[in-house]
Structure 1
Amino acid sequence: MADAMEARPPSAMQTTTFTVLGICCSSEIKLIDRILNHLEGIENVSVNVLAKTATVVHDPAKAPASRIVSALNGAHLKAGIRESGRVQIESRRWPSASVVASGALLLVALCSYAFPPLIWIALLSVTVGVLGMLRRAVAALRRCVLDINVLMVTAVFGAIGLGDYLEAASIVFLFTLAEWLEAKSTNKARVSLESLLNLAPQTAVIAETGETVHVKDIMINTIVSVKAGELVPVDGAVVAGASTVDESSLTGEFMPVDKEIGSNVWSGTMVLTGFIKVETKAVAEDSAVARMVKLVEDAQNRRSHMEEFIEQFAKYYTPGVFLVAAGTAIIPWILSVHPLRQWIYLALVLLVIACPCALVISTPVAKACGLSAAAKMGLIFKGGNYLEALAKVKAMAVDKTGTLTEGAFEVVEVQCWEPNANIRQFLHWISSLENMSSHPMARALVEYARVRGVKPSSEVRNFDSIPGGIAGFVDDCYIKIGNAEVALNNGWLRENELRDDEAGIKTSYVGMVDRCIGYFCLGDQLREEAVRAVQELQKQQIHVIVLTGDSKAAADHVQKQIGENVQVEAGLSPEGKMKKIAELKETWGLTAMVGDGINDAPALTESDVGVAMGISGSALATETANVALMSNDLRRIPEAVELARSSLRKIYQNVAMSLAVKLLFFGLAFGGLPSLWAAVVADMGTCLLVIFNSMRLLHKHGGGESSSTSSSQVLPQAQSINVDEFSEPLLSSERRDQDEEAPCLCCKGRSSQRET
């Protein structure tokens, strides 16, 4: 793999991610920076302690990947090139032989209280356990870096110099054991990330040949076959078969989705039933799951403001405490203050306390757990900064069309006035004619008829688009469908007989030559979860405002449905939405924007946190937003706010615990109760406590079914229209067959225009 990278043009900078399993503490970030920044051709280095990776921007001609690996391994950091979309986990079920041997020898040495010569076994315990620490400490000192290994080795040899052999052996054993425990607990946190990155299938079966190939080799328009129990390998459309698909891995929505011919399916989702053939619409690297994995990987490697602040603090904290420790030992020696041994011992305790591990990982481990939990919920943050910002959001603007509403026409009412035709015959005329149209409402009408067992006729003659509508022959009946102007111009109805239009509802009339035979209404319906989502946001003390380019009447209609206390702004251009966001930021502070369309991109960019409807939203909206919502379930928005706030609380708790332990041991040390082994236990124990505290985010927010997945929990929508009130229930198969065989009597014996 490295050779392939080295063969690239010398002028092209490339980004390579390396696994660095030897990272045990954030203080080693400086060590990796020093190692790599001295190499020619290195442009930027970013280290992720939790993921144990280093992302390097480098010139492959001057600094090939193999040379970078060699440089890192020269400091005993166990480095290697990371395969994209994979997390390498160093799995050690039990401590290493050196840790076990060091502990066993320490137990023997403790018997020196009964048999004093056994005290020398403690030195053997040190020798067995200290070698790994010593190698890493030497590598750090060669590059003038004070990391945890340097501090611990200094404390160990200092204790030996004072004749406290048991203390030295205790430090070595407790530190190496704590390293193993920390690695195991960190790996548990990283397993969540690994399960996410391994979502993308690696192989696919070509439908035509049955050959199994790597997904990277599949081109657009290739047809692959997927059977029950398998993951969909590509983004595409179903061209044969039908199935039920579990999309929870991508969207966080636990309800399976029925798929049929024409339905879109996504890579990484699970086929639960049936067998389907899928025509590829995107290559593997452009699939929805690949984009999601890339976003998560980038977010993990991007440092948040809090993280950068803590790292800057630690940069001065460790050398500062080291100087204090040195002064504690040297100044009493110069002044001949006795007992000198006590001051040196105190200095060694301060060296152990100087290790900033728990403090430095307090932010990244909570951030990583929060990002992983969000991904399982179908929310992809593009960086820890936006997780922190969303926790502090005071106002949230929400687009109407396609965000609060479905963004597509939906049949809300059907009325048939023709005495010689039932509702199924009426739907047959409408769907047959609309099936020939390309108007956005046509698909909704055809689909509405289809689910009620009505198929459009394939023999529509003389189909024509007329001003305000369409017309044509369906089963020898000349049918017109049009707006109110069509109904008036054809003399079907008088003006006072027209149906009063509601905001957001479009009425169309269906007629023959001399009469109106009925009408239907379509509208852009509010999403069923929209009311609950807005209410939850308001409970979180967030000011919600709806922004729309629609008319004031349409905006008022939505306001009545979601609540009169929600501010709605209508008739806004993309620039108008952007200005409203700027006004909200001035009035309320941190502001978020939720949108899905191209016209929302400026507002998403202007906001502090832009949230895009990921899969259904436009590519531009997804690119400009800071958070991608992979499903269309708006209840994920308040859940994301709660997760962000929980993550921020974890960060504050972790920092507080880390500083509290440091201050406590500073106080004990200067209060005359110094203890090296207790300081080691407290320092490494705090690291474990920070990790376990952060991992609670995974169990609380990412570990189980969301509380909002049940549609029965959604509040009823105000003023919603039930289409079943205006149409007959689905007919039995016997009745349907009888109706299909019955002749069309609607126009027999009546004057009608015939095809000539």
Structure 2
Amino acid sequence: MKLPINDKKFLFLLSAITIVVALEILSIIGIHIPMPYAPFFFAIFILGIGYNVLWNGVKAIIKLKFSSINLLMTIAVIGAFYLGEYPEAAVVIVLYVLGERLEDIGIENSKSALDELVSKAPKTAFVKTENANVAIDKIAVGTIIQVKAGEMIPLDGKIISGETMVDEAAITGEPIAKDKRIGDNLFAGTLNKNGFIEMETTKLSVDTTFSKIIRLTFEAQGNKSETQKFIQQFSKYYTPSIIAMAILVFVIPVFAMQLDFNHWLQQAITLLVIACPCALVISTPVAIYAAIGNASVKGALVKGGKYIEALASIKAIALDKTRTITFGNPIVSDIFPLNGTSREELLACTAGAEIFSEHPLAQAIVDASKKEGFEPHKTEGFKSIMGKGATAKCLVCEDETIYVGKLDFIQETQTIDNEALKIVEQLSAQGKTSVVVSFGNGVAGIIGLMDEIKPDSAAALKEIEAMNIEPVMLTGDSEKAANYVAQQVGIKKIFGNMLPENKAEKIKELLQQYKFVAMVGDGINDAPALAQSTVGIAMGAAGSDTAIETANIALMNDKLSLIPFLIRLSQKTLRRIKFNTIGAIAVKLIFITLAFIGYSNLVFAIAADVGVTLIVILTSLNLMKFENKIVSGH
């Protein structure tokens, strides 16, 4: 736990605790501050450190607010003072204040990654037309701003001049910097590593991805977990019950049984001190904040404690295919040169024709040709035929005409042999797209393309299955394409040709079957299904406002492997909360029982209460260090 060693108030608190605890130890071994100085000396500590607690306790008495923990503390301190237990009264208050301060530190630490970013985020940007720095909240969309190497990018936008590497860890959690060139998107709050760039802003400062992350993370406190809500309700009834029990512990032995007044008053006060539910009340919020803080550092924006809790119960995960399991970008998967055409001629000629097209399949073929070291041939007379294909004249291969497109388009002018038909059928059965190529004399070759599967998809889904969670694919793509990708990544339940409303209906069915179901999608066409599920998770949300707004959890990078990590983190968080809660209640029950039978001890009660509170805070904060490691055996 990172303590604020430069905080003067905290250092003063630690110094006071050291003095009071030392004096308490001395009083136990028989060395006391002489009268009449002792009450005044300890009153200075009590009022100096605990004035807020005592004042809130007095206000609670006036308002008859018996559910206030501060009321418990005030009664305990007054009672201890009455008994002449001055060191104990001081120890009670200073250690209670320490517990409260440590809770604040716990919550601050769990948010520290974002706090640090907020403080570092630029407040101004250098506007080119003004030739001066302008406050970012005064900069309109479409403004050209300049960013030097080593500076934080102040607003969302696109590069219009220059190239650089950008560290996007603040947004995506990715530690490796990304190459950025003209036309690439930039996010506010990320770091320009090494190049001078000019960028055109695309969002106002309040609408940037970075601003949304900060706002939604701090708002996450409102989405309290069910455990948190239960404990807060429990506290309202618990405190007045303890006050009533303390009165009974004092009244019955003293007035009904004529037993020693001071002894039973001490037992009643001890009961009040140990019963303060500090550890119980903070067991959930510190753990939840630590888990949310850890997730945000890894690039996952969790919108509240209830979603951390819900993830631990998930029994099935529905996943969209495109841009979730796959990148959503076609790549060349198969190359079949036919009728004596060489691989180089097939790729270089086709790439030469396709270089003029903006279609994603065309760009994939150009990229494949260059990747294999074949420079696209020079062509002229490019003509695109909508929905069918394209033609162009190659200037390298004896002015031959290149025909590129669907099988039907090529069949209009060329004879298709059985071998070509079989290859097209084979690719179709695998859910791949066929691009048929002709140089004006039969089929020169066939190029197969498929949606590129993300490298971590198969491992992530295997890990999800190892947790006894059923992965289900819901996709708008064809059954064949869905089946092929499902086979590659190990998904057995597949539903293809689904419109957004079909996905939402399927989620309802899965909820009836599994009760707790997560939906993972890209947040645009998947919005209805994300909203319908127990937990909606948006993939690659950095560029999508819809995803950040719709989902309960937004993964700022494209990593499917974050999902099993988040499930493990949520399960660990719930186990930690249960351990903390049971431990806190057990210690309280022991000392409450001892108080009832007259054997409790104020010093031990205080030590136990503060000890449990410290353990709860430290074990909860340890969730900040929980790492994204695959569990052995998975």
Query: Normalising to structure 2: TM-score of the pair?
Result: 0.88
1:532 lines up with 2:486 in the alignment? no
Inter-CA distance 114–389: structure 2 relative to 1 (3 Å threshold): closer
Letter in 2 for 1:128: I
Inter-CA distance 226–618: structure 2 relative to 1 (3 Å threshold): closer
Show the counterpart of 2:413.
490
CA distance in 1, matches of 2:472, 2:7: 52
CA distance in 1, matches of 2:469, 2:588: 37
Q: How far does residue 463 in structure 1 lie from its aligned partner after superposition? A: 2.8
Match of 1:643 among 564, 569, 576: 569
TM alignment of 1:403-482, pairs within 5 A: 403-414=324-335, 423=344, 427=347, 429-449=349-369, 460-461=380-381, 463-465=383-385, 468-475=388-395, 477-482=400-405
Q: Deviations over 1:503-534 (max 9, x none)?
A: 22112123333454444222112221111111
Show the counterpart of 2:169.
248
CA distance in 2, matches of 1:137, 1:381: 36
Show the counterpart of 2:41.
125
CA distance in 2, matches of 1:444, 1:217: 41
Letter in 2 for 1:472: A
Inter-CA distance 285–245: structure 2 relative to 1 (3 Å threshold): same
Match of 1:603 among 529, 539, 550: 529
Inter-CA distance 252–199: structure 2 relative to 1 (3 Å threshold): farther
Letter in 2 for 1:684: V
Report if aligned partners of 2:167, 2:190 keep a CA contact under 8 Å in 1: yes
Letter in 2 for 1:479: I
Report if aligned partners of 1:245, 1:258 keep a CA contact under 8 Å in 2: yes
CA distance in 2, matches of 1:399, 1:380: 19
Show the counterpart of 2:226.
305
Task: Give the stretch that moved more between structures: 600-609 or 466-475.
Answer: 466-475
Inter-CA distance 161–273: structure 2 relative to 1 (3 Å threshold): same
Local SS of the residue matching 1:520: strand
Show the counterpart of 1:752.
none
Local SS of the residue matching 1:544: strand
1:543 lines up with 2:470 in the alignment? yes
CA distance in 2, matches of 1:195, 1:422: 54
1:570 lines up with 2:490 in the alignment? no
Inter-CA distance 167–405: structure 2 relative to 1 (3 Å threshold): closer
Q: Deviations over 1:586-617 (max 9, x none)?
A: 22221111111533222222211111114267
Show the counterpart of 2:617.
691
Show the counterpart of 1:60.
none
Larger RCO (CA under 8 A, 6+ residues apart):
2
TM alignment of 1:191-230, pairs within 5 A: 191-195=112-116, 197-198=118-119, 200-208=121-129, 210-230=131-151
Inter-CA distance 497–335: structure 2 relative to 1 (3 Å threshold): closer
Task: Give the stretch that moved more between structures: 251-260 or 115-124.
Answer: 115-124
TM alignment of 1:675-754, pairs within 5 A: 675-701=601-627, 706-707=628-629
Report if aligned partners of 1:109, 1:119 keep a CA contact under 8 Å in 2: no
Show the counterpart of 2:488.
561
Inter-CA distance 171–469: structure 2 relative to 1 (3 Å threshold): closer
1:272 lines up with 2:193 in the alignment? yes
Show the counterpart of 1:511.
438
CA distance in 1, matches of 2:236, 2:115: 30
Q: How far does residue 630 in structure 1 lie from its aligned partner after superposition? A: 1.0
Letter in 2 for 1:485: D
CA distance in 2, matches of 1:226, 1:117: 65
1:143 lines up with 2:63 in the alignment? yes
1:342 lines up with 2:263 in the alignment? yes
TM alignment of 1:2-151, pairs within 5 A: 92=7, 95=10, 97=12, 100=15, 104=19, 118-131=34-47, 132=51, 133-146=53-66, 147-151=68-72
1:590 lines up with 2:516 in the alignment? yes
Aligned length: 617
1:523 lines up with 2:446 in the alignment? no
Report if aligned partners of 2:275, 2:592 keep a CA contact under 8 Å in 1: no
Q: Deviations over 1:57-94 (max 9, x none)?
A: xxxxxxxxxxxxxxxxxxxxxxxxxxxxxxxx896256
Q: How far does residue 111 in structure 1 lie from its aligned partner after superposition? A: 6.1
Report if aligned partners of 2:316, 2:469 keep a CA contact under 8 Å in 1: yes
More helix by share: 2
Q: How far does residue 439 in structure 1 lie from its aligned partner after superposition? A: 2.6
Report if aligned partners of 2:476, 2:499 keep a CA contact under 8 Å in 1: yes
CA distance in 1, matches of 2:181, 2:571: 40
Inter-CA distance 434–396: structure 2 relative to 1 (3 Å threshold): same
Q: How far does residue 212 in structure 1 lie from its aligned partner after superposition? A: 2.1
Report if aligned partners of 1:597, 1:617 keep a CA contact under 8 Å in 2: no
Local SS of the residue matching 1:598: coil
Q: How far does residue 162 in structure 1 lie from its aligned partner after superposition? A: 2.2
Q: Deviations over 1:454-477 (max 9, x none)?
A: 777897435342661112345355
Report if aligned partners of 1:250, 1:268 keep a CA contact under 8 Å in 2: yes
CA distance in 2, matches of 1:617, 1:256: 17
Report if aligned partners of 1:329, 1:347 keep a CA contact under 8 Å in 2: yes
Report if aligned partners of 1:123, 1:169 keep a CA contact under 8 Å in 2: no
Local SS of the residue matching 1:282: coil
Letter in 1 for 2:451: D
CA distance in 2, matches of 1:223, 1:403: 33
CA distance in 1, matches of 2:309, 2:505: 24
Show the counterpart of 2:288.
367
Local SS of the residue matching 1:237: strand
Show the counterpart of 2:301.
380
Task: Give the stretch that moved more between structures: 251-260 or 651-660.
Answer: 251-260
Report if aligned partners of 2:403, 2:438 keep a CA contact under 8 Å in 1: yes
CA distance in 2, matches of 1:468, 1:634: 35
Show the counterpart of 1:20.
none
Q: How far does residue 173 in structure 1 lie from its aligned partner after superposition? A: 4.4
Report if aligned partners of 2:433, 2:450 keep a CA contact under 8 Å in 1: yes
The percentage of aligned residue pairs carrying the same residue is 35
Inter-CA distance 223–442: structure 2 relative to 1 (3 Å threshold): farther
Letter in 1 for 2:317: M
Local SS of the residue matching 2:579: helix
Q: How far does residue 99 in structure 1 lie from its aligned partner after superposition? A: 7.0
Task: Give the stretch that moved more between structures: 635-644 or 232-241.
Answer: 232-241
Show the counterpart of 2:242.
321
Report if aligned partners of 1:534, 1:562 keep a CA contact under 8 Å in 2: yes
Residue ranges of structure 1 left out of the alignment (5+ in a row): 1-88, 709-714, 716-756
Report if aligned partners of 2:162, 2:195 keep a CA contact under 8 Å in 1: yes
Report if aligned partners of 1:610, 1:626 keep a CA contact under 8 Å in 2: yes
1:358 lines up with 2:250 in the alignment? no
Q: Deviations over 1:395-435 (max 9, x none)?
A: 11111122112212222234556979882x65554344334
CA distance in 2, matches of 1:388, 1:320: 29
Inter-CA distance 196–144: structure 2 relative to 1 (3 Å threshold): farther
1:395 lines up with 2:277 in the alignment? no
Q: How far does residue 582 in structure 1 lie from its aligned partner after superposition? A: 1.9
Q: How far does residue 394 in structure 1 lie from its aligned partner after superposition? A: 0.7
Q: Deviations over 1:379-408 (max 9, x none)?
A: 112221111111000111111122112212
CA distance in 2, matches of 1:284, 1:200: 11
Task: Give the stretch that moved more between structures: 95-104 or 356-365.
Answer: 95-104
Aligned Cα root-mean-square deviation (Å): 3.2
Inter-CA distance 237–574: structure 2 relative to 1 (3 Å threshold): same
Q: How far does residue 98 in structure 1 lie from its aligned partner after superposition? A: 7.5
Report if aligned partners of 1:471, 1:481 keep a CA contact under 8 Å in 2: yes
CA distance in 1, matches of 2:609, 2:176: 45
Residue ranges of structure 2 left out of the alignment (5+ in a row): none
1:263 lines up with 2:179 in the alignment? no
